Chains A and B, each alone.
Chain A
């Protein structure tokens, strides 16, 4: 678009309801008043039809296509939409795979792109031989097979899952020049189906002295975490299905513990044993890895909750805007406490804010997609999102977060986990040439 056309567009769009600095437009222009917006934009751009090439048939329209496969994969033209891997050769250490949020839309993470962290490779589990044992402070220890669990009443719920170490690069004292996938790729959202843990605990019975359960996986590290019985009786689930199909191997096949809103590592995969106990086991992962050092030298223990958070996925670091005009800012918001109440968006680094449209349905402890119409005038802009949940929790600014939790003295390795439970605002700086970079604002 040349500059005279842009000025023209600006004049014709002046009746669009600008609601915050640097070109944020009333969200109702997107959802409730789409026709008005479309009309305005059409009038604004006013492209000429003269001289357009006549349409012709492409080769794929002139021949028989490929065979229909039994299990379909995405188009070969989407081959770049993949997870980034920390340990592709399965060296003897843990392996992370991060979700490419900047290449996805909506709120459901496709199963092949769901994030995963494995601590000793992915076990190849024969579902017919896998067993789940519930024992300890129960009336009757019981063993369940996958087949028997499938006979139990099934429940489905959409739930995000987030690693406690997601967003850890943002503890850096300067903004790391990394994509939303590298910064925030250790969170995903799926529909999980399985058996409520409380249903199984009804059958085993619970001794009143049981305050915790210790969940353990069938993977090689026999990963083990302690979970309060309170959560087990609230909304914990033995998940068997992920977005309608059996769990992906890296997500815990054939069964995992699902603790909606709680730190990913506690959602023990390949679940084989639950022991009810009086006190937490203080396993390595809870007493060392998932305890967070604070600036005064003390450390948090049993953080559990993935607190209210949001980030803009489009546009985001590494993208380039193609000239001034109308864009849709879009991103993800979620809270381990419940539903997202509202998301505010700023295009001027937090000086002014406008309320984003929330895509229905807005579900508890699940991804909520927010959208914000934005008219970029071609000048520098700093895009931010900030979320509130239904319990009144608000996503902190970076300054508020750092005041409590501190920051590192130098940038960490991007794949490292220097600290955890980072949930403050992410800022994307848009330069005059349209390039988008990670900034602190």
Chain B
């Protein structure tokens, strides 16, 4: 083992100790990776915008992609089909989850980007490039009148979109966080 590895190991043990982890003999069989090697898998987006990639898109660009790749399930103009509507005006009344919409419930606009990029289209996930995901995100947000029709979505603008329901949540068991 090199001196550098010794130092890293010692540091990690120290860290584990400060985090309250009980130390035990472990096999150390994990293969070290650098973040560059993980980049293609690292699709986590945080609500403050951490993790958002380069690129951008507008609602007009998104409308074209939506008609081609999304409307078969989500309906024309995102009004719903065999899969749910993505743009609709609805107020929540009563406790049924079926009333939740992006506009009246989702607390962060970054989640729209994150979910499209990781899971959509349903039959071809991860087939959209980042510009296309930004464009679709802009289209859905604009159809919901959460952004202007000509606004561009990118790593700077998307986290700043104010979602109406953001401050309406109660953490159920704060002591478990």
Contact = CB atoms under 8 A, between A and B. Distances in A.
A297 B92 contact: yes
B161 interface: no
Interface string B62-83: 0000000000010000000011
B119 A220 contact: yes
A288 B34 CA distance: 33
21 contacts: A135-B35, A139-B11, A140-B8, A140-B30, A141-B35, A148-B27, A205-B8, A208-B15, A222-B43, A222-B118, A275-B42, A283-B115, A284-B115, A287-B108, A291-B105, A293-B95, A297-B92, A299-B168, A299-B170, A300-B172, A303-B172
Contact of A288 (B16, B29, B106): B106
Interface in B113-172: 114-115, 118-119, 122-123, 125-126, 165, 168-172
B122 A233 contact: no
A77 to B, nearest CB: 39
A408 B96 contact: yes
Interface string B11-30: 11101101111111011111
A295 B92 CA distance: 10
Contact of A298 (B38, B118, B169): B169
A206 B19 contact: yes
A303 B169 CA distance: 11
Contacts of A412: 96
Contacts of B28: 203
A214 interface: yes
Given A140-B12, A144-B29, A293 B99 contact: yes
Which of B73, B97, B119 has its CB near the most chain A CB atoms (within 10 A)?
Answer: B97
Nearest to A284: B115
Nearest to B174: A302
Contacts of A301: 169-172
Contacts, number: 227
A201 interface: yes
Interface residues on A, range: 35 or more
Contact of A279 (B42, B47, B107, B173): B47
Contacts of B92: 293, 297
A277 B26 contact: no
A92 B122 CA distance: 7
Contacts of B115: 283-284
Interface string B48-63: 1010000000000000
A289 B100 CA distance: 9
A284 B171 CA distance: 16
A440 interface: no
B119 A120 contact: yes
Contact of B12 (A93, A143, A203, A299): A203
Contact of B15 (A200, A206, A302): A206
A277 B97 contact: no
Interface in A196-221: 198-208, 211, 214, 216, 220-221
A198 to B, nearest CB: 5
Contacts of B176: 228, 230-231, 302, 304-305
Interface string A130-147: 000111000111111000
A409 interface: yes
- The interface centre, meaning the residue of B13, B28, B30, B92 with most chain A CB atoms within 10 A of its CB, is B30
Nearest to A228: B177
Contacts of A199: 24, 26
Interface stretch (A67-75, A320-328, A368-376, A414-422): A414-422
A281 B107 CA distance: 12
B26 A205 contact: no
B67 to A, nearest CB: 18
Contacts of A83: none
A293 B16 contact: no
A295 B48 CA distance: 29
A75 to B, nearest CB: 39
Contacts of B48: 279
